[in-house]
Amino acid sequence: MMLSKDAIADVVEVLRGSDFYKPAHENIYEAIITLYGHGEPADAVTVADELNKRGELNRIGGAPYLHSLISSVPTAANAGFYAEIVAERAVLRRLVEAGTKIAQLGYSQDGEVEGLVNQAQAEVYSVADGRENEDYVQLKEAMDSTVNEIEANGSRAGGIHGVPTGFIEFDELTAGLQPGQMVVIAARPAMGKALALDTPIPTPSGWTTMGELSVGDQVLGSDGCPTTVIAATEVMNNRPCYRVVFDDGSEIIADAEHQWLTDTRASRKSKQAVLAGLQKNQRNTAEVRTTEEIRSTLRCNTADARINHSVKNARPLQFPDADLPIAPYTLGVWLGDGASAAARVTSADSEVLAGIELDGYQVKQVDGITHSVSLPTVSDAGELKAWVVRPCSECGKDCHGTRCLECYREKSTVQGRLRKLGVLGNKHIPASYLRASEKQRRALLAGLLDADGTVTNAGCVQLVVTNRQLALDAQELIHSLGYRSGLRTKHVKGRSEATSTAYKLTFSAADTVFGLSRKNDAHRLRDARPTPKRTSRFIVAVEPIESVPVRCIQVDNEEHLFLASRAMIPTHNSTFALDIARSAAIKNNMATVFFSLEMSRNEIAMKILAAEASLNLGDLRRGQLDDDQWAKLATAVGKMDNAPLFIDDSPNMTLMEIRAKARRLKQRNNLKLIVLDYLQLMSSGKKVESRQQEVSEFSRALKLMAKELEVPLIALSQLNRGSEQRTDKKPMVSDLRESGCLTADTRILRSDTGAETTMGELFASGARNVPVWSLGDDMRYVERHLTHVFSTGVKPVYCMKLASGKQIRATANHPFFTYRGWKGLGELEPGSRISVPRHVNGPSSRVIWDDAQVTMLAHMLGDGSFVKGQSIRYASVDEENLQAVTEAAKYFGIIAVRDTHEVARCTSLRLPAPYHLTHGKRNPLAAWLDELGLFGLRSWDKFIPAEVFTLPKTQIALFIKHLWATDGSVTVKKNGRSGRIYFGSTSRQMTEQISLLLLRFGISTRLREAPLKGEYRQGYTLDISGRDEQLRFLREIGVHGGRATNCQRLLDILENEGMKSNTNVDTVPAEVWNDVKDILSDRGITHRDFQKDMGSKYCGSTFYKRSPSRSRLARVASVLDSAELDMHAVNDIFWDTVVSIEYAGEEEVFDATVLGHHNFIANGITVHNSIEQDADMVILLHRDDVYDKESPRAGEADVIVAKHRNGPTKTIAVAFQGHYSRFANMTHDSYSDGGF
């Protein structure tokens, strides 16, 4: 197996690890299988590395033993034969063991004879251990035995050959309870949903139309991000068409079946009730509806007949920063109040002029309130030589100087750049600005509004211009930022007819859209209470029109929405083909394999026959068929004889066996589709930490297998009972077992940098293979890779707070690690104990700073001020701190200037630049802080830069030591027996980051909100409690400056021999005592003897009431010689306590895929990833008549495509024809084009 990858595929079908006689060979086999399952090579080097990771390399004889095994094999070609020899010897050994056990049973005479015989039979049956596995067979081979079974069933009385229930009608329908019953699932192609060919479609580079789009083109999703067209229909004619009119005047022409994601008055009111706290969950939500459905429910069935449907605005378009020739704000001001033919602006507002200067331009008064705008003067002294010909630095043409005259006019003056943009004498917004980054577009809008914008009495923002093209461009700019707008015209007295029409653009926004302070203040004061109209467009009319040519596209974003029309309105894309085993193999002659872990091959074949021949499944089971039915059956059998459908009903199949069989079918039969029934019945064949982790491993491995074989794979899974708790009983993706999600602001701890990054940031950047810390089977954190983060839609979330101050927002079913394994958030309650890290290792990436940089950053974060527009200062009452900053400043070439403030009783240091500041030169300290992303932040916004987390442990200790000298505290209590160590700040982010840094030293902390005082900002304290934690801090870190005295005092007190640690600070959940009791019972040890060995007086059950400390549990592990208990006593876990769990509304949530252990650290808490993350599509089934026998939808089913990574989601209504064992279209379903 270490010589050939093909040999592994041959062996896994024959052998299991337990078949080897030597434990060393079993360990080597399991290591090879693990590597093979992960798609990694298995040779002597990689196997040795895997065994070393498991701590088993020395047990098997070391790496030399692996090489000796390889050298003893003549060829890998006979691996399958060798495996059979090992398997046969294993069977013989088990036979000997079984014989011995049977003999012992006979001699013991313990129990009834019938029971002993039954046990003896079970021992003999278990000898083969299922080695005679039934393999996959072609459907043709199963058909003969199935037809024979149908004939045999017909001879049985009443046709009842299963287990009778006593209910006649039920038995007639089912012929009794049948082993392994289940439903074959499939889907039919859905109809296209289309828009008119001339519908404008925004793209990342500008505009196109629906008729011009083709596969591979990029459009824009409702999230504002570019999305790719993955499918497009041909042009369709003669379809019913409608004009959909919105309340802002926008119009879109769509066919009757086009889909829209709309809210109704009911869903809007439900959301408002949730926000107001009147109800816990939103009962009605936005749904995908067709144009025809919207038309029929356009207005509410109320007395006032209110408008019903609304479509949410798109989010701001997301593009990278563009290289723009003129700063956006300056261009906006010029477009509003600039001279059409010159680089001049007319403004009496000094703040507007200051904004232009902040963009780096020179502003000079020309006449009155007219000012010229020019680029900063740059001297070419020393560069120019008279009459020396040289290439132009811009275009390369020969010229006398650094630039030719043409390039100088175009790029060296503002007017030249305006001319190059094409706006000089023709005011409009260039396309490059309309597709610039959101930040740049907001600056452009601010410039326009500062020049020509006002705030109405109702709090709306209004822009008035007399240039039609500029008005249309400004409207596009407003739409690109996620706002809806209205455009009206008014006749005014202009200089010419062209300027005698004023265009009024009006929109509402809760954001800051002006640059001018006075306009922002007016906007804030007049802004009315937000209404749904601010964030949505209401559909006011759906008017039938003559049919026009239409077509539809399919996009690859998660929301399945793309933007259409000049108003950038989100609209739903189309659904295309869904296919499974019967359709693929029988109708399209594509090789398909059906792995059934529960249903027999005859049962599968019988259900396919019933569906294909349109015969009653009950009649087939009873064998009661008339001549016409037999004719149908014969026709169907003949049609299916050559169908390349392979069925494997081998029991207890492992993932390795499935992988090996699928690979073989791919090589021999050009496999096109895999169906697995079902995920929760799969077994790994080895011991795992939890069933959830095992299922997650299957999910990831199946995805990798599908990618490797390049075939689609359908894995059937189960839902939990979440849907039964809802009124409509409809399932959701979150009802998948082990499925859960986290919010975008959830912080993930990276193992490469040691810093945190959010789920939202990883999702937006498309990051792949991010190293993270993951909890291993030994309860130690190890490095694993997070492959990607993905959105799972909008779901209800709950905020869980812990005693340590940590908090996280997640869906109710997101799993957290407890003493008894992984449990969903909904299963936890206040008082529950969950795992958080008590120690993390250093990052794999390391950076070393100068100690002066570390010292300076610590003090500036604590007591420094570096607000923009002010000098950089540091203030302190501690002379040692002042001296430390003075010395650290020298690293930057800065000489600190002291200022004494007697009234404030403190001294401040000014840290000026060591040279005169000119254009292009900055204070080196300011530039450094800016590089770290800190410059300009107020105290409550401060954070610890990611670079600090990559520093070596000694420098992190130095950083904390100086940081604690600013806003930290070390005090000794009045009793002189203990003290308090804490850090205070108004920045929660920085406080949480300090807690994370302290984990490098194994120091756990508790974060609290400080009591609010008056109008002051919320403060936070970070406490280090417990003697052991405080000793570790004082010994390994300490505090710089005057607080060092109290540090030494407290250290002397804690090191006093009479002082004892509080064992209740770090305990193991009380459930561990149940494991202790099980060990005592297995070993026959009495509780009295055990408590005596523990050195305790016998106190009965009271001994087990409280959670044991780690030291106590270590003593228990030693007394009982239990490695498992010892692992619980010594590990990287701190068992935190849940304080509260509260509903936090609905928002978009995300999940991640982590290889290996399938968990990671989020917000300082150990969390598990879900099983849905690997699925490209999730389909849920719902039948209303299962819950309501009188339902008017009896005989119908909903096929809910709840997740589709590369296509749309939709609920498809189908007919459930249980007597034919199939689902069918709601329309007539003939045999030639049957159901599924």
d(C-alpha 566, C-alpha 717), whole Å: 43
- Among 81, 109, 128, which residue terminates a domain? 128
Tokens 């040691």 map to which residue? 754
Q: What's the pLDDT score for residue 167? A: 25
Cβ atoms of 609 and 616 closer than 8 Å: no
* Domain of 68, in residue numbers: 5-128
**pLDDT beyond 60 at 736:** no
Total domains present in the chain: 7
DSSP 530: P
In this structure, the dihedral spanned by the alpha carbons of residues 46, 47, 48 and 52, taken in order and rounded to 10 degrees, is: 100
Measure CA 187 to chain center.
28
Quick one: CA dihedral 549, 553, 559, 565, positive or negative?
negative
Is 387 among the domain residues?
A: no
**pLDDT beyond 90 at 977:** no
In 3-state terms, what secondary structure has residue 443?
helix
Of 208 and 146, more confident: 208
Is 244 among the domain residues?
A: yes
Instruction: Kindly indicate the confidence band of residue 57, based on its pLDDT and cuts at 50, 70 and 90.
Output: confident
DSSP 3: S
The reply to whether 897 and 1040 lie within a common domain is yes
Closest CA to 567 of 489, 475, 505, 441: 475
Measure CA 517 to chain center.
39
Is 10 among the domain residues?
A: yes
Can you list the alpha helix ranges (DSSP code H) found in 986-1141? 988-998, 1027-1036, 1044-1054, 1072-1083, 1087-1093, 1110-1120, 1123-1129
Across 29-43, 489-503, 1071-1085, the highest mean pLDDT is recorded for: 1071-1085
The reply to whether 658 and 752 lie within a common domain is no
Cβ atoms of 610 and 582 closer than 8 Å: no
Tokens 């015209």 map to which residue? 489
Is residue 151 packed enough to be buried (19+ CB in 10 Å), middle (13-18) or exposed (0-12)? Answer: exposed
CB pairs under 8 A, 24+ apart, for 697-701?
A: 697/655, 697/1158, 698/655, 699/1171, 699/1172, 699/1173, 699/1174, 699/1175, 700/1153, 700/1155, 700/1158, 700/1174, 701/37, 701/655, 701/659
Cβ atoms of 1023 and 1006 closer than 8 Å: yes
Is 1081 among the domain residues?
A: no
- Among 1054, 1069, 1094, which residue terminates a domain? 1054
Closest CA to 571 of 590, 557, 592, 585: 557
d(C-alpha 1080, C-alpha 1096), whole Å: 16
Instruction: Locate 315 and state its tokens.
Output: 């989010």
d(C-alpha 1140, C-alpha 1142), whole Å: 6
Instruction: Locate 381 and state its tokens.
Output: 């002294």
Q: What is the pTM of this model?
A: 0.48
Instruction: Locate 804 and state its tokens.
Output: 């340590």
Is 654 among the domain residues?
A: yes
| For helices 23-37 and 655-669, angle between their N-to-C axes, nearest 10 degrees | 50
The reply to whether 112 and 72 lie within a common domain is yes
d(C-alpha 504, C-alpha 249), whole Å: 14
CA distances from 610 to 827, 1121, 1234 (A): 43, 61, 11
Is residue 980 packed enough to be buried (19+ CB in 10 Å), middle (13-18) or exposed (0-12)? Answer: middle
Q: pLDDT tens digit string along 105-120?
A: 777 666 666 556 656 6
The reply to whether 52 and 74 lie within a common domain is yes
Mean pLDDT is lowest, of 259-273, 470-484, 1114-1128, for: 259-273
Of 153 and 556, more confident: 556
Beta bridge partners of 1210: 1201
Cis peptide bond prior to 408, omega within 30° of 0: no
Q: What is the mean pLDDT of residues 463-470?
A: 92
Cβ atoms of 174 and 162 closer than 8 Å: yes
The CATH number given to whatever domain includes residue 1153 is 2.170.16.10
Cβ atoms of 1165 and 833 closer than 8 Å: no
Cβ atoms of 480 and 441 closer than 8 Å: yes
Q: What is the mean pLDDT of residues 1140-1157?
A: 86
**pLDDT beyond 90 at 10:** no
The reply to whether 588 and 489 lie within a common domain is no
d(C-alpha 238, C-alpha 548), whole Å: 7
For the residues of 117-152, what is the DSSP string, one character each? HHHHHHHHHHHHTT-S----EEHHHHHHHHHHHHHH
d(C-alpha 411, C-alpha 409), whole Å: 6
d(C-alpha 446, C-alpha 448), whole Å: 5
In this structure, the dihedral spanned by the alpha carbons of residues 579, 584, 586 and 587, taken in order and rounded to 10 degrees, is: 70
**pLDDT beyond 90 at 928:** yes
The reply to whether 692 and 757 lie within a common domain is no
- Reported as half-sphere exposure (CB side, CA atoms, 13 A), residue 272 has a value of 10
**pLDDT beyond 70 at 1223:** no
The reply to whether 244 and 112 lie within a common domain is no
d(C-alpha 596, C-alpha 605), whole Å: 12
Beta bridge partners of 535: none
The reply to whether 947 and 1044 lie within a common domain is yes
Can you list the alpha helix ranges (DSSP code H) found in 596-687? 601-613, 617-622, 627-640, 655-669
The CATH number given to whatever domain includes residue 708 is 3.40.50.300
**pLDDT beyond 80 at 1236:** no
Instruction: Locate 372 and state its tokens.
Output: 């010229």
In 3-state terms, what secondary structure has residue 116?
helix
Tokens 């206040």 map to which residue? 830
Tokens 């529960």 map to which residue? 598
Task: State the first-to-last Cα distance of the chain, in angstroms, to the nearest integer.
Answer: 43
Quick one: CA dihedral 960, 963, 967, 970, positive or negative?
positive
Q: pLDDT tens digit string along 861-920?
A: 999 999 988 899 999 999 999 999 999 999 999 999 999 888 778 899 999 999 988 777
Can you list the alpha helix ranges (DSSP code H) found in 742-871? 759-765, 851-863
The reply to whether 30 and 175 lie within a common domain is no
Tokens 């701590």 map to which residue? 55
Instruction: Locate 648 and state its tokens.
Output: 């494997």
The three-state DSSP-derived secondary structure of 691-711 is HHHHHHHHHHHHHHHHHHHCC
Residues counted in the chain: 1236
The reply to whether 465 and 361 lie within a common domain is yes
Is 340 among the domain residues?
A: yes
DSSP 838: S
Q: What's the pLDDT score for residue 1203? A: 59
Q: Which amino acid is at 131?
A: R
Is 773 among the domain residues?
A: yes
Is 938 among the domain residues?
A: yes
For the residues of 303-350, what is the DSSP string, one character each? TT--B--EEEPPPPP--PPP--SS-HHHHHHHHHHB-TTSSEEE---H
Instruction: Kindly indicate the confidence band of residue 1006, based on its pLDDT and cuts at 50, 70 and 90.
Output: very high
Instruction: Locate 12 and state its tokens.
Output: 């896994």
CA distances from 681 to 37, 129, 560, 655 (A): 19, 18, 32, 11
d(C-alpha 705, C-alpha 694), whole Å: 16
The three-state DSSP-derived secondary structure of 711-734 is CCEEEECCECHHHHHCCCCCCCHH
The CATH number given to whatever domain includes residue 335 is 3.10.28.10
Per the prediction, the chain carries an average pLDDT of 80
**pLDDT beyond 60 at 125:** no
Across 670-679, 955-964, 1157-1166, the highest mean pLDDT is recorded for: 955-964
**Cβ neighbours for 848, distance < 8 A, ≥ 6 positions apart:** 951, 952, 955
Q: pLDDT tens digit string along 623-636?
A: 777 888 888 888 88
Q: What's the pLDDT score for residue 224? A: 92
Of 960 and 378, more confident: 960
Q: What is the mean pLDDT of residues 739-756?
A: 88
The reply to whether 762 and 834 lie within a common domain is yes
DSSP 425: T
- Among 80, 95, 128, which residue terminates a domain? 128
Q: What's the pLDDT score for residue 573? A: 61
d(C-alpha 260, C-alpha 710), whole Å: 33
- Strands 713-716, 673-677: pairing is parallel
The reply to whether 120 and 154 lie within a common domain is no
